[in-house]
Structure 1
Amino acid sequence: MTPELWDRLTPFRDKAIARGIPAADVERWLTAAARPCATLTRDGGGDGPVVGRFGGPLLLPAGVPDPVHPFVASIDLAALPAGTTDLPLPPDGDLLLFAYPETADDYETMGSAVYVPVGSPVVERDRHAWNPFEIDDDAAMFEEFPHGPLRATAQVSLPYHHTVELLGGPGNRPLPEHPRAEELVAVWESTRQDIAPEGPLRIGGYADEEAIEADPVATAVSWAVKAAAAGRWDGPVSADVSDWVLLADWQAGMDVEGWESSTVHWVIQRDDLAARRFDRAFASVFWNP
């Protein structure tokens, strides 16, 4: 990360130490956990460069099938400031995100991602093709999706979670090597609005949602593994969370009336991201209606 981003964490350091957390624990947490990310806000919500938009025309290469989830946003990867994230994203082209912001009835992806390389011939698609039966409730939900330009701000991200799930049974345990994790996360919750104000869409960083103890990425990975085992998603799928990264987070509840608290997490295996296999992204949704 840049020195500027490290400096932004000074209020976190100061408050954590003031609460009695040893400085060595604070620095170990920051060194191991701090990640750069891009927070995207609608036009008027920041002064960063325009890097994409919510909604708009759906432009896809002719060979790409109509996505089965609603169109959320497009991101011009060339417009993202260099070093904004630590993800191995392509230097250019468009990343399109799709999602239905409701929890799945079974283990299945609730969204997808499409990468359109720069210069690819594209054709405009029907933005409503995902709703072939014209279900009124679905159409009304989609009408609430946000529209407009997105501006990017380079920010720093720390974990919102402080436990990991126990293997082979219910329950959680503290993050390994970080016995003060719960206290550190509480400090982050109390300082993040001054350090890294949230926006409706984030690229990279850590996943967040309304009620959180364990990493939402770990939950998404477990769903992906079960979806693959059930034949609902193509493998291969690693069950090791370290093989995955958060591609994007959408706080859908900030925008979609009736879906308050809904959050979409797009995750992808590191190898798939490096190979630009964005069709291998898996989306999970947290929603507490």
Structure 2
Amino acid sequence: MNPELINRLAPFRAEALRRGIPLQDVERWIATARPSGTLVTGGDGPVVGRFGGPLLLPADVPAPWSPLLATLDCAALPEETTGLALPADGRLLLFGFPEMTYFGGSAGDVVYVPEGTPVEERGPKYESVHDDETRAIHEQFPQEELRLAPDVCLPSHFLAPSPETGGGTVTLPGHPHAWELAEAWEETYGDIVVDGPLHIGGYASHECTETDPVTDAAADAEQSRRIRAEQSPGSADTAGLPAAAEWVLLAQWDIDLDGREGSTLHWVIPRQDLAERRFDRAHVSFFWNP
């Protein structure tokens, strides 16, 4: 990772040591740092996409059920900044709506449109926007250019699924002081990270992070797959999804809309699917603690 980004973690290191966490444990935690691209709506960084805008899709691609949140220029999002092996060109469209789903269902979609693919503008077809309350939320969706700011992040979670039969959680393996380190990050990240609404890559977080939201979203995706397979025996959904450890955060939207204050949407995807430019199994999870 860029040494300049690692150097930005100095306030975290100082706070963790002040709390009496052994230096070797602090450095081991810092070694897990990941790059992340924070997308902001101001500043002088390069324009890499936009919130909202027209919905442009190939003729043979059905419009997703949820609204378009953002269109991103993959060529403007280098791997050294995001930590993700995104396509070298083309557009990535993020769809989602901040509403609870049932039985592990996805709260959105991801569509990749390769460079040079003919597209047509579609009218709105948002099944998730179905009443006065949800329309009031959708009307607040941002409509602005997005600019890239290189960022760095550490885990906000400190628990992991237990390897023992029966579930439960354990402290993150290899990090006996995980809770204290996550607390130190919570205390200092505001002085380290860029303040922006949309994040590409890095670690997922939300207001009540204890376990990794990516792991939780992968479990939801598997639950949803099982239910679809039961409803349609012999369908493609009978094929199992990759293990939770093989999923990565594609994007995170920290939502600041009236009626959804403090909520978060996470777009997650199996790492191999991302490498293969396969976005149909991406899953979107919604977290809200009203």
**TM-score, normalised with respect to structure 1:** 0.92
Q: Is the 8 A contact 2:215 2:244 kept in 1?
A: yes
RMSD: 1.8
Greater than 6 Å deviation, 4+ residue runs: none
| Aligned CA distance change for structure 1 residues 82 and 48 (closer, same or farther; 3 Å) | farther
Partner residue of 1:144 out of 133, 140, 155? 140
Compared CA separation, residues 181 and 112, structure 1 to 2 (3 A): same
Within the alignment, does 1:273 sit opposite 2:260 as a pair? no
Match of 1:193 in 2: 190
Q: Is the 8 A contact 1:131 1:139 kept in 2?
A: no
TM-score for the superposition, normalised by structure 2? 0.92
Aligned to 2:15: 15
**Residue 124 of structure 1 aligns with which residue?**
121
Among candidates 164, 167, 177, match of residue 180 of structure 1: 177
Whether the 8 Å CA contact 1:131–1:138 is kept in 2: the answer is: no
Residue identity opposite 1:247 in structure 2: L
Distance 2:195 2:159 in 1: 22
Unpaired runs of 5+ residues, structure 2, are 230-235
> What is aligned with 1:3?
3
Kindly tell me: are residues 175 and 203 of structure 1, through their superposed partners in 2, closer, same or farther at Cα, counting changes over 3 Å?
A: same
CA distance in 1, matches of 2:126, 2:101: 16
**Hey, what does 2:233 align to over in structure 1?**
none
**What's the CA shift for 1:134?**
5.2
Identity %: 51
What is the aligned partner in structure 1 of residue 40 from structure 2? 41
Mapped to 1, the partners of 2:141 and 2:238 lie a distance apart of 31
Work out which of the residue numbers 71, 87, 110 in structure 2 matches 1:74: 71
Determine the C-alpha separation between the residues in 2 that align with 1:132 and 1:151: 28
Does 2:112 correspond to 1:115? Answer: yes
Deviations 1:94-153 (A, max 9, x none): 110001111213221111100111111111011x20239853333222111111001111
In structure 2, the residue corresponding to 1:91 is in which secondary structure? coil
* Residue pair 2:161, 2:168 contacting (<8 A) in 1 also: yes
Aligned residue for 1:114, secondary structure, equals strand
Aligned positions, number: 283
